[in-house]
Structure 1
């Protein structure tokens, strides 16, 4: 039997992975204990998505285990053993701001939880491919020291800089920089996953995501940029822009396109590799540009305020360079641009909120 195991399976990337791999594996085992509700309250609950998965995919088996506890993980790995061919690890505490509230919780989920999963893989299914969703926050605030130019609606990098054409590559330093505690815990996990690939030969891959997005995101104020932005556009709830005149730039990759990157890697793994993963020059926007698109798609004028206080460690301009991944896997490309993604988010969210799409 071929089994894919997905952590954070009711979250955005986890649920996309379940859907994507359901017809490629005999069984997809999901691990998710809905800690997102603990992090972000009712807005962040993924219970609706777990229910959707269990109804939609007959070969999906849910396990509400806590990745911080080996005692809860080990029975799952013992049950399925070497039949586990793929592990997609998406479970995380994903917010800068929240991490500072509970550093022990943040680190135990992001770093210790990742170590637990790596060690369970090494002990029970060492031939499996292990894919880790890291973050561009491992680069800390180093991107903020690039030569940036202010335009009417965004910050942009100087056109003479090597990063102008394609964005930031994997060789940007992750050292000597302010990460936020979230970024630091993800650095620890990121380096652990690299090490299990390079030291033990496990078929690991690290994907350093920009803004990961899509219609199944449980967006909340502290995490889920486009999803929460669209939720505010639909409901009329107040949205707050934090600093940088609302011109800070994010690239955005649809959850399907990211999971398709995982699939390409799975078919031809390169142990210990690190890839930037985002919308690149294909799909990016500033906060102001994102607000304008949400207003256009929803037909509503957004209710937003501005705070001069930016989030600690926040990026002023970040666009991912995917050249390395595309060179290794030339069959991959983006399928959803920014507007297509936002339309999907709008229609899905409007339906969940019981409003006309």
Structure 2
């Protein structure tokens, strides 16, 4: 039986990948130590998701390990020698990174290097799929000419009609410390591919979302927004008139692309993996959607200061992904995403 190692297996993307590859007949090994609870407190706890996987997947093995533990990572890869590695473990918040810079860099950059070197030594033929982020572009997308519409900002430059492509600059911009640590990891993943010939890819995610997200204010925008509406809690909008735009991609479509890459891997590739223009929405538009779906008005306050390095408008150009993997495309619409997140929060809260 083929084996997959998924780091961050109790998180949104990691857990989705575990379930997806299990359905393809893989023995699933999940690496997680619930570090989100350390980063974000009780609201970020993902033990419930670990327990869900252990109950639902008979071929699931949990490994309680921190990716910063270099010796532990080496020993696991030496023993396991998986057929594919999906790396989703990270400190995921650019706000939180400024408060814990060493933890952020040691996790995102150092942890990724630990995994890459272990792969090089013990299973260099196995595809290494890295969950990167669109924050590697820093705030450079804010330099694109924009036009203000009633409910959103939109690109006012035909070059970006379909969104941000992988050729977009990562230089001369403010990234946040989180963005910088993810750039380091992203470039290292590419380098291990090109320098050592290991099949690797970086998936520069937009807003990754879905029903199994433990959304908190500092990470998990859409999940947290829906939770606030359901609990009639006040949501804080940070700047840009609430018209800032994000593209949202369901975790299942992320897992499907990882499966496509595993089946036909490439060396040192980079893909902008988001929902694209079709799944983009502003915060104001998200409020309207959840109010219509959940039947409750959105409570929110506005702070006239944007988050450092935050994007005004960002959605991914999916052209390269569709060109390299024509059998893959978005299958979950924005309506699907909102409905599933709402149902999931209702079930978790009883």
Match of 2:158 among 161, 171, 176: 161
Distance across 1 between alignment mates of 2:134 and 2:122: 30
SS at match of 1:162: helix
Unaligned 5+ segments in structure 2 are none
Match of 2:240 among 244, 250, 262: 244
**1:287 equivalenced with 2:283 (yes/no):** yes
- Deviation at residue 237 of structure 1 after TM alignment: 1.2
Distance across 2 between alignment mates of 1:175 and 1:85: 35
Q: TM-score, structure 1 length as denominator?
A: 0.97
- Deviation at residue 24 of structure 1 after TM alignment: 2.1
**1:352 equivalenced with 2:340 (yes/no):** no
SS at match of 2:203: strand
SS at match of 2:290: helix
Partner residue in 2 for 1:342: 338
Partner residue in 2 for 1:207: 203
Partner residue in 1 for 2:22: 22
Say if 1:4 and 1:87, in contact at 8 Å, map to a contact too: yes
Tell me how many residue pairs correspond in the alignment: 350
Partner residue in 2 for 1:311: 307
Match of 2:101 among 77, 100, 103: 103
- Deviation at residue 314 of structure 1 after TM alignment: 0.2
- Deviation at residue 217 of structure 1 after TM alignment: 0.2
Say if 1:220 and 1:228, in contact at 8 Å, map to a contact too: yes
What do residues 122-142 of structure 1 show as CA deviations (whole Å, max 9, x unaligned)?
A: 111111000001000000000
SS at match of 2:85: strand
SS at match of 1:48: helix
- Deviation at residue 37 of structure 1 after TM alignment: 0.6
Partner residue in 2 for 1:71: 71
Distance across 2 between alignment mates of 1:283 and 1:332: 16
Q: TM-score, structure 2 length as denominator?
A: 0.99
Say if 1:4 and 1:25, in contact at 8 Å, map to a contact too: no
Partner residue in 1 for 2:54: 54
Distance across 2 between alignment mates of 1:119 and 1:185: 18
- Deviation at residue 25 of structure 1 after TM alignment: 3.9
State the Cα RMSD in Å.
0.8
SS at match of 1:101: coil
SS at match of 2:160: coil
Distance across 2 between alignment mates of 1:205 and 1:55: 31
**1:116 equivalenced with 2:135 (yes/no):** no
What do residues 110-158 of structure 1 show as CA deviations (whole Å, max 9, x unaligned)?
A: 0000000001101111110000010000000000010000111000011
- Deviation at residue 53 of structure 1 after TM alignment: 0.4
- Deviation at residue 238 of structure 1 after TM alignment: 1.1
Partner residue in 2 for 1:39: 39
- Deviation at residue 296 of structure 1 after TM alignment: 1.1
- Deviation at residue 282 of structure 1 after TM alignment: 1.6
